[in-house]
Structure 1
Amino acid sequence: MSNPAKKDQTQELIKETAKNLFFVKGKFDATTQEIADAAGVNRTLINYYFRSRDNLIQIVFDEAQKVEQDKSKIIQNSDMLFKEKISLFVESSLSTSLQYPYLETYIVSQINKGNCHQKDIEEDVLKTLYKDIETEMELGNIETMKPVQFLLNMISLLVFPSAIRPLLMENLMIDDAEFDKIISERKEIIINMLFKK
């Protein structure tokens, strides 16, 4: 008789191993055998629990999207002041970048392959966000620009360093630990660049 708790642990181990290979190490083309070897399990268990590598990838991808959507909900569902919301979003995004350095790159690679991608933000929420940005501009807290430019600035400052992490590490001659330290120090820098006061 099989042990349900052990089955759940093994499934979770395989998922976490796949996430680690894809999002932490950036090995998007990891084979079923490589995932099994890294998890310390027999390759047939991946097919047993997930039916196929593609199915495992879809599950891991869905979980990756959930991480992104949870970040967006910080902005959408909060009663905090606008700058506080943005600060929390920046902090959360940087924390995710440290945990999963290749997450954004993975999601973009999946979109480029034509895999479905749910929108992280609804149209009415986006309109409200644009209104909030315009209000902050009128108050003099943000440089005047189209609200979409403010969002592009924020997203670029957050995502770009992680998206090209290997290239930056090579050209700036820094190792993983140093790069992580640089990412962890970015919150105040980003906030100071986005807000005048």
Structure 2
Amino acid sequence: MAVKDSRTEQQIKDAAKKLFFTEGRFKATTQEIADAAGVNRTLVNYYFRSRDQLFDQVLKDARLQMDSRLEATADEKNFRKKIEHFIDVFMEQARNYPYLDIYMVSRLNDDVEKQNEILTDIKKTDKLKLFLAEIEEQMKLGTINKMPPVQFFINMLSLISYPQVMQPLLKKVFRYTDKQYQQMLAERKAIILKILFR
């Protein structure tokens, strides 16, 4: 039996991420993934057993990467800076993987088991509860408008993710090139902060 090579495994995962989340090719075949990685198709099956397992692995890696970047702000005391960093992390991920949010939404709608897995991950920590409590405290201080903290959180996520999820359509509607669309997204951070903060 051949010995697994972590470099080859990573090469396959990187190729799959590019196809799935950068190019939006969710139905890419094992052969297409192998071609993009510059390896034989049997190696993809050897390392990941199936295309779906590879898909799950690269999705998990993308989520872990984002979680670790968000962890860096956990101790940030300045709420506005924390939100700025949160926006930066989400926007950078969206720039690197423009189809990740689209995939997440479609996968969660189709797969109850995947929904339960993500909900279990969220419930394992009190991070969300702590963040909602922090939002409520900021409302008391008058930094942000009063509303249920969940609404603030949903507003923030919507302002960040909607332009990413709708990117293919919005680019056509406004006749934006890739460069123009990225420029529009870059301008959104200041606009989002203006909407969220008093």
TM-score norm. by structure 2 comes to 0.87
Of structures 1 and 2, the one with the larger relative CO (CA 8 A, separation 6+) is 1
Does structure 1 residue 88 correspond to structure 2 residue 85?
A: yes
Q: Secondary structure at the match of 1:118?
A: helix
CA–CA distance in structure 1, aligned partners of residues 130 and 7 of structure 2: 42
CA–CA distance in structure 1, aligned partners of residues 94 and 64 of structure 2: 14
Aligned twin of 1:157: 159
Structure 1 stretches of 5 or more lacking a match?
A: none
Aligned twin of 1:118: 118
Match of 1:181 among 167, 180, 183: 183
Whether the aligned pair in 2 keeps the contact of 1:74 and 1:85 (CA below 8 Å) is no
Whether the aligned pair in 2 keeps the contact of 1:15 and 1:60 (CA below 8 Å) is yes
Q: Secondary structure at the match of 2:118?
A: coil
Match of 1:145 among 144, 147, 156: 147
Aligned twin of 2:50: 52
CA–CA distance in structure 2, aligned partners of residues 55 and 121 of structure 1: 22
Aligned twin of 1:29: 27
CA–CA distance in structure 1, aligned partners of residues 135 and 51 of structure 2: 43
Superposed CA offset, 1:98-145 (max 9, x none) = 111111111222212215242464463333222221221222211111
C-alpha spacing 1:111/1:68, structure 2 compared with 1 (3 Å): farther
Identity of matched residues, %? 42
Structure 2 stretches of 5 or more lacking a match?
A: none
Q: Secondary structure at the match of 1:15?
A: helix
The number of aligned residues is 193
Does structure 1 residue 9 correspond to structure 2 residue 11?
A: no
Read off the aligned partner of 1:183 and give its amino acid letter: L
The CA RMSD measured in Å over matched residues stands at: 2.2
Superposed CA offset, 1:161-187 (max 9, x none) = 101110111111112222122222221
TM-score norm. by structure 1 comes to 0.87
C-alpha spacing 1:44/1:124, structure 2 compared with 1 (3 Å): closer
